[in-house]
Amino acid sequence: MSVNRNSQGSRPAAAPAARSPNQPQTSLRSRPFIAINLCFALSVGGWIPVSALLAIFMREHLQAGVIGAMVAVIIINSLSAGVSLFAGTLAARWGSRRTYLLGAMGIAICTALLAAAQESWHVIALAPLFGLAAPFHWTGANIYILQAVDARRRGTATGIASFVMVLGPGLAGPLLTVIGAQFGLWATILGGSGLLSLAWAGAWILLPEIGGPQAGPVPGRRPSITDYPRLLLVRAILITSAARWISGFAHGVFQLVSALVVLDLTGQLSTVGWYLSAAAIGGGASQVVIGLASDRFGRRNLLVAAMLIGATSALLYWRPQSLALLLAGSALQWFGQASFQTLISAIVGDIVAPRDLATVSGMHVGFFSLGVVCGALAAGLLWASDPGLPFLLAAICFLPVIVGLFYLPQRTISI
């Protein structure tokens, strides 16, 4: 029986009826879950290395400096923060598959155009297009993953997805940077666009529709932008939104200048690729374990631990002494970011009514993007005076959020 008919509640005894043909089986071994993770690995494998190398591309190839990269990152994520609110609404109305396809296609086209950039203003001109496309990619993927599995396996599912989120860049990063060392950074960026194009094609062919208009949140009611103030009055949603913001702030700092720190220390572009690889694989490998543990023992304390790890990673970049310490700090940063993705997504799935899931998911992408804007702004402005200051500020900003997390219940699965 379809979701809409069940929600009308006319014949409760008929609940065990067969699943609608439009609603595929939802499990960790189902085609939708496996396919979305394959596509997600390709799309983040194409985009994250390119975004990590943006400051290097601007400084070394376009002679624009860190400030130019900061402006581009701020434009991208400022637009993303606003568009994310509508991305969640679109996913609720038209389905997460179409939302993901729109985002992946948009980023692939923009990345291909970025490879042809010859002036810094070309990058600045492309930044709004990236900002429009990125929220649809992240929101569509997040919602599809939550819809593709049973609620009891949500923690495991988001753990696997977070592992994939870092495995993709970890495998693609060395390959793309080796290509860049041989042919130029434009080749690295073009290779990233190719991976994004493969992700879009795979999603178009392999992903079935899940949800969409025929399985809307509430019959006769569609999500509205006015839902956001109401949802932010819920303490648990407000706290998890703050957690999304600080994860975005730390990501913004690392995204803009961490690769520059590594490059300036070693002088070799290839080390940036291996830094991405070691960090991504090391952090991602633990995500399945976190997903399993959160389902069994609760998610809050694990999220607190992940926040402490995130603060520690920033401190290691505050006063870098060796490549080994930078690799350790990067591994902890990726571990923390993937943990935030795993645990916050699972908590949202636990505490949010099904009709509000897409709205809150989009709102959280918006808070993350806002955090990235703030982190990039701090990194760009403080870099010239002291490259370590942005990382110290990120570590300090984790502390009030960690305190706030203790106001969440340890076991959100029963809410």
CATH number at residue 405: 1.20.1250.20
Answer whether residue 8 is part of any domain.
no
191 vs 164, higher pLDDT: 191
The predicted structure's pLDDT at residue 24: 54
Q: Is residue 21 part of a domain?
A: no
Q: pLDDT: is 58 or 152 the higher one?
A: 58
- Band of the pLDDT at 100, cuts 50, 70, 90? very high
Answer yes or no: are the C-beta atoms of 213 and 95 closer than 8 Å. Answer: yes
183 Cβ partners below 8 Å, 6+ apart? none
- Within a domain: 6: no
- For residue 53, is pLDDT > 90? no
- Least trusted range by pLDDT, from 57-71, 108-122, 209-223, 276-290: 209-223
Name the band, by pLDDT with cuts 50, 70 and 90, for residue 114. very high
How far is the CA of 377 from the CAs of 257, 315, 340, 389, in angstroms?
11, 19, 22, 12
3-state secondary structure of 64: coil
Is 385 domain-assigned? yes
Cα 8-12-17 angle, rounded to 5 deg: 100
Nearest to 162 by CA among 344, 299, 328: 344
Going by pLDDT thresholds of 50, 70 and 90, the confidence category of residue 14 is very low
Does the pLDDT of residue 178 top 90, yes or no? no
- Highest mean pLDDT (candidates 70-84, 117-131, 336-350): 117-131
**Residue type at 9?**
G
Mean pLDDT score across all residues of the chain: 81
What is the distance between the alpha carbons of residues 329 and 332, in angstroms, rounded to a whole number?
A: 5
Please count the structural domains in the chain: 1
For the segment 244-288, what is each residue's pLDDT rounded down to a tens digit?
A: 999 999 999 998 998 888 888 887 877 787 777 777 766 766 666
Instruction: Convert 365-376 into a string of H (helix), E (strand) and C (coil).
Output: HHHHHHHHHHHH
HSE value, Cβ hemisphere, 13 Å, CA-based, for 305:
12
Q: 341 φ, ψ to 5°? A: -60, -45
Q: Which domain holds residue 163?
A: 26-207+225-414
Q: What are phi and psi of 268, to 5 degrees?
A: -125, 125
22-31, 51-60, 146-155, 309-318: which range is least confident on average?
Answer: 22-31
Decide if pLDDT at 396 tops 70: yes
The pLDDT, as a whole number, for residue 220 is 39
Q: Considering only residues 317 and 342, tell me which one the structure prediction assigns the higher pLDDT.
A: 317
Question: Token match 């679109």: residue?
Answer: 90
Give me the mean pLDDT over the 207-231 stretch.
Answer: 59
What is the DSSP track for 103-140?
HHHHHHHHHHHHHT--SHHHHHHHHHHHHHHHHHHHHH
Q: What is the pLDDT of residue 211?
A: 58
The percentage of residues in the chain with a pLDDT greater than 70, rounded to a whole number, is 83
Q: What are phi and psi of 141, to 5 degrees?
A: -65, -45
Return the SS3 of 217.
coil
Residue 273 and residue 177 in contact, taking contact as beta carbons nearer than 8 Å: yes
pLDDT tens string 368-389? 888 999 999 999 999 988 989 9
The C-alpha atoms of residue 74 and residue 370 are separated, in whole angstroms, by: 9
Work out the pLDDT band at 213, boundaries 50, 70, 90. very low
What pLDDT is attached to residue 295?
Answer: 63
Of the candidates 224, 201, 273, the residue with the CA atom closest to the CA atom of residue 93 = 224
Alpha carbons 327 and 315: distance in angstroms, whole number: 13
Question: What does the pLDDT read at residue 6?
Answer: 39
- The residues, any chain, with a CB within 8 Å of residue 226's CB and separated by 6 or more, are none
Q: Is the pLDDT of residue 201 over 70?
A: yes
pLDDT at 219: 39
